[in-house]
Structure 1
Amino acid sequence: MVISASLQVLMAGGQVAASKLNGKLLDELMAEGLLSVVTHGSRKSYRARDAEALRRFLIDKDEGYRILEVEASGSRASMAMGTGNSKLAMVRSCPGFPVNSYEPIECFLGGKPFMVNPQDGSFLFVAEWETFTIPKDVIVIGIENMENFRMIRRQRMFFEEYLRSHGFSNKVLFVSRYPQSTDLRRWLCIIPNHYLHFGDFDLAGISIFLFEFQQYVGKERSSFLIPDDIESRLKSGSGKRYDEQYCRFKDIQSDVRELQQLIELIHHERKAFDQEGYICCNTL
């Protein structure tokens, strides 16, 4: 695969005009939060928020982008030879994803007992995710925002009330898709547990769930967390972000009634609401 000049500019830290990027890929990169918008009057261009995260996403998305890994490896090897620092030659030193919980959960890692019970103010990172298994009655909640993920105890009452009112188990494992990769999604596809997605309440956030998770995990084993008070929350949300996302995501739909109702509500209010707004609602 030949890497386009536009992608090379983004990964080098430069700006690229919207007209220079493939429309579908641009939508994906924006939904993943990998690009930031730079305005020049009425014109827009894009810049990578994190060049390494962008490179990693492209490699995980399509085998054709593996050339980026080879190029990076070769470049780092050259640097290692010149500096004597062998760490520079590592291509991907951090596979896996972080996990968190506010109660002990007896899991297995590599076939051996592994207790997930991080102290408040910390979380665990599962690198060998292929051998990580959890009890079948545990609900997996994926949290898009790292601040929410770190502060799950400040949202405990919110989660417990939601799970109880929707008939879910109260045994919960929290996971996060950080660093940006498909490891978490691949793990979700090989376990039998239900996946509950907790992201921003905007069109881009719903798009992430639909096309990065539900499409692979399946409708029977995945759902989008929709709080009972989301209508009142959206009224005080961001109209600017709704407007920014509208052109790219205005046509997203779901045949899951509750999720389609949320999409219609977002369009009705013309607002977006960040999931961080739920952090301070309850403290223990």
Structure 2
Amino acid sequence: MKMTCALIEKLIRLANGDSIPAGALKGELFECMISDGILVVITRGCRKSYRASDEQSLRNYVATHYDIRDLEAYFALLKKDNVSRAEQVRITGNSKVKQQRSFRGFLVNCYEPISVILAGRQMELLPEDGTFTFIYDFDRFSISEDIVIIGVENPENFRYIRKQKRLFDSYLPKNTKLLFVSRYPQEQSRDLMEWLLSVSNRYIHFGDLDLAGVHIYLSEYYCHLGERASFLIPQDYETRILSGNRERYENQYSKFGKMEIADIRIVPLVDCIHRLHRGYDQEGFIMEEDAENSECVADNLL
């Protein structure tokens, strides 16, 4: 039987000596309590209500049959927004009384050390290459206002941020501190957006230069963050899109071709995508950086 706030509230009233109209005590739980003599009827003319025959007996009955040892604590638990499974076990003996996501938060990355505050403690954030940091306690995670947050759409680009440093250096002022955040693997949750809304930092969305990438930016970020958010559009975007994929554009057009462009700053990008009938995958930035590195190695050997 599912214990709801309304049901527990009625049990608390009965346990405190109140009487409740019979019409409000529907369901198997109250039928059993009436049958077992825990509740007794009170008749006033044609009106019928019930009260506990003995208040402590009612509490003992609920504890024995439903493992609710403290009605008031149980009620407070149900009303609480965020309840850990450990707290549920302490109060009820059951970690699944209230559905709660046990894996919350989002991934962060950076290629230069950043000073952050987590749970009241200052720490230096700099994951080793090939690793990420998962911020679980994000409601107690803060960064200085001068740090620019870059939301990375695709996992591979998030993995290889160091190989795309030249792109970010060309797009932003020198010595800008960057914190990279990822939509994956928690894209179904609102944890990242809740955190972004709690800070005032500039947000840049780094995604595919195609209709779907624009839609993700507009529908998931710009609609919530407004002008504080922007889309990363490289200076050579037209050249990149020209070398992009035509089939990608054709597959996306039926769904996103007529979308409203709320952020006028990306209108030139969208116009270019429509004019060239192509889209460009952001993973191309990684490949270009690798190729450049290879050329540098070859030059050094010569």
Matched, 1:281 2:279: no
Give the TM-score normalised by the residue count of structure 1. Answer: 0.65
Match of 2:210 in 1: 202
Match of 1:59 in 2: none
Alignment length, in residue pairs?
194
Match of 2:180 in 1: 174
Q: Gapped runs of 5+ residues in structure 1?
A: 1-85
Matched, 1:155 2:164: yes
From 257, 265, 271, the equivalent of 2:278 is 271
Q: Gapped runs of 5+ residues in structure 2?
A: 1-94, 294-302
Cα distance per residue 1:67-115 (max 9 Å; x no partner): xxxxxxxxxxxxxxxxxxx99x986332110000000000001111122
Matched, 1:146 2:155: yes
Give the TM-score normalised by the residue count of structure 2. Answer: 0.61
Cα distance per residue 1:39-70 (max 9 Å; x no partner): xxxxxxxxxxxxxxxxxxxxxxxxxxxxxxxx
Q: What secondary structure sits across from 1:227 in the alignment?
A: coil
Q: What secondary structure sits across from 1:136 in the alignment?
A: coil
Root-mean-square deviation (CA), in Å?
A: 2.0
Give the letter aligned to residue 234 of structure 2: P
- Measure, in 2, the Cα distance between the counterparts of 1:94 and 1:147: 22
Q: Structure 1 residue runs of 4+, over 3 Å off?
A: 255-258
Match of 2:247 in 1: 240
Checking the alignment, whether the CA contact within 8 Å between 2:218 and 2:263 is kept in structure 1 is: no
Matched, 1:133 2:139: no
Give the letter aligned to residue 236 of structure 1: S
Matching of residues 1-284 of structure 1 within 5 Å: 92-164=101-173, 170-178=176-184, 179-180=186-187, 181-219=189-227, 221-282=228-289
- Measure, in 2, the Cα distance between the counterparts of 1:239 and 1:259: 20
Give the letter aligned to residue 212 of structure 2: A
- Measure, in 1, the Cα distance between the counterparts of 2:154 and 2:180: 12
Residue identity over aligned pairs, in percent, reads 44
- Measure, in 1, the Cα distance between the counterparts of 2:150 and 2:238: 22
Residue 120 of structure 1: CA displacement? 1.1
Checking the alignment, whether the CA contact within 8 Å between 1:137 and 1:169 is kept in structure 2 is: no
Give the letter aligned to residue 174 of structure 1: F
Q: What secondary structure sits across from 1:282 in the alignment?
A: helix
Checking the alignment, whether the CA contact within 8 Å between 1:95 and 1:127 is kept in structure 2 is: yes
Q: Which has the larger radius of gyration?
A: 2
Residue 238 of structure 1: CA displacement? 1.1
- Measure, in 2, the Cα distance between the counterparts of 1:121 and 1:218: 33
Q: What secondary structure sits across from 1:275 in the alignment?
A: coil
